[in-house]
Structure 1
């Protein structure tokens, strides 16, 4: 599941969007994924539908993420060949169980908690000097958006990447981040002027 958590952190996509992702929606040569649908749990059953905004979107990914996805695809193909007729995959999902079946959404949510607990409370040896804080899977999406905004990426670009139908949603959800970035604007402007003055 390394590739799943990596892509969640590096794309900002929702849990259901990643679990709905097919290899036909992944273009590793162009370094992008296409979010076309989503997976959810309704009445205890795994169901598929449209994205939250009802529209598909293209999400560019970096070279490191492409390498992670290539390795994941190779491993998945090895598993498929190893299992032969026992492979249960009926579609080309990017993320599957070891038997090729689509993953139940609550499984990955629980894994995030389990991994943190295992790291903080190892069965063998001493616990780490610095414990990992509790985090939800959805927090990877928030971290992705927060880091982009603090790096100065336009709200409109971040909104499109996250699949927000309107940048106003992004402004509302991440208002505290945007205020923090705005605080630094005066210093950035002053520094730019100083740099310009020293070079002339």
Structure 2
């Protein structure tokens, strides 16, 4: 593309070219879908913005327009997706300066969010309402996520051979592509491949449940599955137990929060959840970590006062 053509290239055209060159085939489909959604918003909000006209003011105007429709965190994600492409444009000499520098992130007031996790009593109450008799069903699926903190797609991909009953572990090495009709696919990242230790009771239960099942076939994913279907089952149980209604992903948060409150290290929780690094765990559970730090300060102060 000649310099004249580049000067007349619309920003959304450049961004489209950038994501297809640098992102297509290198990231998961679900992540690619987010980049493509960002592209649609650029077309909608700034359809006539030329790449060469991108400066701090025009970029801030684009962010402000986006922020009218979204919460602050969503606007921050939008900004980060644009920034990668724009910094490459600066490196290539297509822009003389970085227009994203000192960008101000705004957004609509956050909605009242549903509870993300249950406390130990609430989880125990939920488990008592599950139908855990007889054959495998979605109640067993709910229990397994609560006991392991697995992602929804990871739990769907579990096969009998993933259980190591003698060592009391469950191997996570694949996911189930439920969004596209089924089939195994890789885990979210390399850190997601892991072995999760299980308590003896869960081991005994699942050793019976998977007996005589085909070793390399998923024990839960028998047909096309929708996340909403299983979440409806969980919602029904939450209502029956008279506890806050959470999602399946909320069970993952519940699992992690109970471990943190029990004193398990952030590093161990990160490994169990399959996070790529501890920073992800710290950001996700910052409110719990701060609460634990406050509790630690109280312990320190009491210990010091005993020295006098």
TMscore range, shorter length: 0.7 to 0.9
| Alignment partners' CA distance in 2, 1:21 and 1:190 | 47
Determine the C-alpha separation between the residues in 2 that align with 1:39 and 1:183: 40
What is the RMSD of the two structures over their aligned residues, measured on CA atoms?
A: 2.5
Number of aligned residue pairs = 168
Displacement of 1:93 after TM fit?
2.1
1:114 aligns with 2:236: yes
The residue correspondences of 1:121-200 to structure 2 (distance < 5 A) are 131-190=242-301
Displacement after TM superposition at 1:193 (Å): 6.6
Of the two structures, which has the highest relative contact order with CA contacts closer than 8 Å and spacing of 6 or more? Answer: 1
Q: Which residues of structure 1 form unaligned runs of 5+? A: 81-88, 121-130
Aligned CA distance change for structure 1 residues 41 and 15 (closer, same or farther; 3 Å):
same
Does the 8 A contact of 1:22 with 1:93 survive in 2?
A: yes
> Out of 217, 220, 238, which is 1:95 matched to?
220
- Distance, in Å, in 1 between the alignment partners of 2:252 and 2:142 is 11
> Residues 19 and 102 of structure 1 are in contact (CA less than 8 Å); yes or no, is this contact kept in structure 2?
no
- Are the equivalent residues in 2 in contact too, given 1:109–1:136 (CA < 8 A)? yes
Structure with the bigger percentage of strand = 1
Q: 1:62 aligns with which of 190, 199, 213?
A: 199
Change over 3 Å in CA distance of 1:105–1:181 after alignment to 2: same
Q: Equivalents in 2 of 1:42, 1:153: separation in Å?
A: 34
Match in the other structure for 1:46: 182
Deviation at 1:155, TM superposition (A): 0.7
- Counterpart of 2:171 (choices 22, 31, 34) is 34
The CA deviation string for residues 116-142 of structure 1, in whole angstroms up to 9 with x for no partner, is: 35x26xxxxxxxxxx232111111100
CA distance in 2 between partners of 1:105 and 1:25 (Å): 23
Distance 1:192 1:58, change over 3 A: farther
Tell me the residue number matched to 2:225: 104
State the alpha-carbon separation in 2 of the partners of residues 185 and 102 from structure 1.
48
Structure 2 residues not aligned, in runs of 5+: 1-136
CA distance in 2, matches of 1:192, 1:66: 41
The TM-score normalised by the length of structure 2 is: 0.49
Q: Which moved more, 1:185-194 or 1:2-11?
A: 185-194
Distance 1:64 1:190, change over 3 A: farther
